[in-house]
A and B are shown apart, each in its own frame.
Chain A
């Protein structure tokens, strides 16, 4: 087991390195750098001005060198000024005395760089946004997992019954509704002051505000309430719910046709006891893996929903960084998403082995 985890960690490190290199390469292509320079300086810069702007800031070094500097295995670039006090580099600003200038600063030294969009340290920016998204994800998981499991177990309990048919259709419908469709429909129906149920409810005096739910989650960043936070959570949960529910149903129907369940039924055990005590535990092994593997998928939903509901979390940060070619921020964002993907895969593998007695004992 230890060797397995070690090997997986090695592969993880290699994957993360390859991925960041690809991101690094794509963001450092010259047209992208030109856009960055024009965003930072001004839009009417001449080609020579762009080249000198980029050259001064170390963007025109060979790609492996720049990547090494970002990692922190190579000394950072230094641009000599006419006056020694004007000299600045990757790791220090102009006016830093010579003895205080570090030679290397990169990920290995714990320095994630400087965001050109937010004018702030990348590490701090990512952490604040990540905390906000963590809040969103926690709510999503709290809503999605129990409801998906309940739907799946109820549907798989009696295969082919009306309940199964209705719930299966519901789960197919949710997997067919991407977040930007369900989000738009929810806002239109529940959070528009002119359309849907809100004006009607407001006329009847059943709701205090103008709308049943708030269509923007910006205020939920500080103070999340049911009113401003439920729609984004519901939107993400619905899309992921269907898949987990279908997997749970498949696993439940398989368990319900097993020999030991038939034996229990023939012995005259109550149906509710069969489901709760005999079937459920075995039926929930497979969904566990699915839930873990679903988490990276939720990341996509998070990006869409945070953009749609204007919730400034990690997904919103990704969009901002990518749209403005903020290289170091984008690298940090991709490192984190890769880690999320690979760690959830690892947990799902380990968890599957741990939960399944047939594998654990052999």
Chain B
């Protein structure tokens, strides 16, 4: 069988696409150059007294640029739709596009529903008023859907991520398999890596590792940061000095040194990550407990059952999360018993746990500083003084008066921080820390690929671009959210 080319039978479009791209680049440059020159628009005064001005040279170039931009977008769509229809007939891109059909459907449905009901969806709906925000959201959701579908439902991928196929070592993208089994996918769409595994399938599975860890770790970091940052900002004094000193202490560590100290097999043996997990994961419990208690403590008949149910459920989750095989800490020489095995809902892989814990640990001091700063600012507002006069308790004021009013910057920072966590996960993979060496996550793939970087580039570029687009998407999303929340 012939190896696949990139665009297959659609390659006739390549020239048009290249020309459109070059023209777009040129027109953007011209536009920027023109913006330095003062615009000499002409104004015409009509007989009815109205005045009209033409948009001048800048407007003209702007119009051309936007048309070229739409042309490029349309051509990309043609490649993708052609791929969906023709499959590998449209080359590697077509084959990939066909594999991704469920993701395209999910994306289209999400966008159609969100745009239809955007007026009823609050801040989320407003996101669809900003182009930048929409592009960011599309990029993020693309990887989220890919991660979930490839990781949970095992769709999309063409081959097993660990099986090595003879003769496929370091093969270029689009290489056909030598002797494919019946019903097996016949090509390595993005080539094979140095262990003859399919790069495309590993790329998609790697998305799941990120989608699984990054948002959750960021959420935990926020819980820790908020629970400690609010009292530090609100009370001030000794508590603030002490907590700020601790936060600055952690921030003064170079991140990579911290990772090297925390994420090694030797440290896992000592059980330190388990202690840290037990400490860090208790914060969501504290946070939600205080949140509900401060709101409903005036109605004990409602508050008590509510707290019992909520804290009971969360407590079970917490204990299942931190205990493995009946022990919270198993350091060889001694054990601390936890939830017995039959009650244990799920076990976390120790290598994932240590990565998770260290990422939460690195992120929480920054969140703490942001929340503290916001609390310092907001506590001087009138509505806080009003609540104090009403005799509300300090925790009620912190969680139900200050926190909701700090949500704008916090949501924006949440998006940015997921991106930063993704970068940190990649860094861990890049230094070969934490996750196993055969893990398909992007950082580890970049790490294994870079040994052969002078000879083979194709196993490296896809995960690099994937990480780039995901983080870029999160940054654009945060930018869009910031713009829209400022408009209120």
Contacts and interface: CB of A to CB of B under 8 A. Distances in A.
Given A175-B475, A318-B256, A26 B468 contact: no
A185 B475 contact: no
A161 B37 CA distance: 13
Interface in B300-335: none
Nearest to B455: A194
B35 A158 contact: yes
A87 interface: no
B431 A319 contact: yes
A273 B322 CA distance: 63
B252 interface: yes
Contacts of B426: 178, 180-181
Given A176-B419, A177-B468, A303 B266 contact: no
Contacts of B454: 192-194, 215
Contacts of B36: 163
Nearest to B262: A26
B256 A176 contact: no
Contacts of B245: 11, 14-15
B453 A192 contact: yes
A19 interface: yes
A35 interface: yes
Contact of A181 (B248, B252, B468, B476): B468
Most buried by A among B252, B253, B255, B450: B252
B35 A178 contact: no
Contacts of B251: 341
Contacts of B472: 172-173, 176-177
Interface residues of B, number: 53
Contacts of B471: 176-178
Given A176-B419, A307-B431, A334 B467 contact: no
Q: Is the interface of A mostly helix, strand, loop or mixed?
A: helix
Contact of B32 (A166, A176, A215): A166
Contacts of A30: 270
Interface stretch (B147-155, B285-293, B456-464): B456-464
* Interface size of A as a range: 35 or more
A148 B56 CA distance: 31
Interface in A136-174: 158, 161-163, 166, 172-173
B386 interface: no
Contacts of B7: none
A334 B35 contact: no
Contacts of B260: 318-319, 322-323
Contacts of A195: 457
B336 interface: no
Interface of A: 11, 14-15, 18-19, 23, 26-27, 29-32, 34-35, 158, 161-163, 166, 172-173, 175-178, 180-181, 184-185, 187-188, 192-196, 215, 271, 296, 299-300, 303-304, 307-308, 318-319, 322-323, 325, 330, 333-334, 337-338, 341-342
Given A26-B262, A32-B267, A176-B471, 13 more contacts: A14-B245, A15-B249, A31-B266, A166-B32, A178-B423, A180-B464, A181-B467, A184-B453, A184-B461, A184-B464, A304-B430, A319-B260, A337-B252
The 7 A-B residue pairs whose C-beta atoms are closest, nearest first, are A322-B260, A31-B266, A176-B472, A176-B471, A188-B457, A195-B457, A178-B423
